[in-house]
Amino acid sequence: MEILICPMCHGALTLEVVREEGDTVITGTIRCQKCGEAFAIEDGLPNMMPPDMRAP
């Protein structure tokens, strides 16, 4: 997480874990501390695409 930045504003990110298996986050949210944008983690994969580029 230390090397990741928000793709929208380049702010620092925090991790909110809902479910994990070992060291792998299965579901959760990555949230920007600066702009507040949230990026979902589903099935172990974070979706860091800007909101207008995400699939519905």
Q: pLDDT (tens digit, 9 = 90+) per residue, 7-40?
A: 999 999 999 999 999 999 999 999 999 999 999 9
Give the range of the structural domain holding residue 21, as residue numbers without chain letter. 13-50
Flag whether 5 is in a domain: no
Answer whether 25's CB lies under 8 Å from 8's CB: no
Answer whether 14's CB lies under 8 Å from 33's CB: yes
Task: Using pLDDT thresholds of 50, 70 and 90, give the confidence band for residue 2.
Answer: confident
Number of domains in the chain: 1
Flag whether 4 is in a domain: no
Task: Using pLDDT thresholds of 50, 70 and 90, give the confidence band for residue 52.
Answer: confident
pTM of the entire predicted model: 0.85
DSSP for 11-55 reads --EEEEEEEEETTEEEEEEEEETTT--EEEEETTEE--S-GGGS-
| CA–CA gap between residue 17 and residue 38 (Å, rounded) | 13
Flag whether 34 is in a domain: yes
